[in-house]
Amino acid sequence: MFSLSKILLPVDFSQRAVGAARYAEALADQYGAQITMLHVIPPPHYEFASMEAGSTALAELYLNRKAVIEEESRTFLTAELPGFTPKRVLLEGDPAREIVKMAHDDGFNLILMPTHGYGPFRRFVLGSVAAKVLHDADCPVWTGVHLEEAPPVEAIKFGTVVAAVDLGPQSEKTLVWAAQFAESAKARLVIAHATPSLEGRTGEYFDPDWRLYLSKQAQEHVAELQQKAGTNAEVVIEAGDAPHVVETAARNCHADIVVIGRGSASGVFGRLRANAYSIIRQSPCPVVSV
């Protein structure tokens, strides 16, 4: 039976975290989940690396910063979400490691956190904490780059779920989770798959039958996958770059979430492995990595 009874909500007190909290509350309302809001204070050398380790000034700065964070942790979201009643936890240590450890040790069903990118390659880069959590967590991770734009809690709906599958070893698990979520939310389920783009170079002959062959082969494999997963979802198969195909499918279907596959402690499998960060960054809606 599908369960989202325990949701871990790591926060950094940003507007992105406010948006993530709205999604967490919407899920809690629907599934009766207990939300645990977690903030992890990094060790002093993370924030004050330019100062000599063990110095008195460093210790004072850290203690002052810790006091401010403790107060912020007690009051965060009380004004923005007055009905929001999470368990509040404050830890010290490496943020990604503590998030993953708590999720594992306390049996959380879902980690829900915002992310962002840095520098000129925003399509390919996630925040380092989110990237580590995605790599190491053994439960589904719900994230997105547009969470600061989350609508009010009462306006959040889960009407369409897109399961993006690469037909690799993780695809059945991905589809099953997406199907169970869709069924529990009474949502429409759509499967999206990208086949390779086999365009010939300029002046080079390209046999168009290959595209038809690959499409037919993908349809057969998706049908086998649906039989194993016990689903009867709509299917979108397009040739091209996987992140673009998934983004287009999500937009055309007005998806509320996209679900992709991920292996415990080993990153994202198959063609989605190389494209996972791009899918998360380009998706118009939150992405759940299973």
**Predicted pLDDT at 263:** 54
Q: What average pLDDT does the structure give for the chain?
A: 85
Q: Quick one: fold of 157-290?
A: Rossmann fold (3.40.50)
Strands (E), the chain: 6-10, 34-41, 87-92, 110-112, 141-143, 160-164, 188-195, 234-239, 257-260, 287-289
**pLDDT attached to residue 127:** 65
> How large is the average pLDDT for residues 216-243?
95
Determine the pLDDT at residue 208: 64
Distance CA 196, CA 276 (A): 16
Mean pLDDT, residues 26-55: 78
Report domain extents, the chain. 1-148, 157-290
Distance CA 221, CA 246 (A): 18
Residue 58 has pLDDT above 80, yes or no: no
Distance in angstroms (rounded) separating the CA atoms of residues 31 and 155:
16
Q: Per-residue confidence at 211, pLDDT binned at 50, 70, 90? A: confident
Predicted confidence band at 83 (pLDDT cuts at 50, 70, 90)? Answer: confident
Site of tokens 């791009």: 278
Class of domain 1-148: alpha beta
Asked if residue 249 has pLDDT above 70, the reply is yes
The reply to whether domains 1-148 and 157-290 share a CATH topology is yes
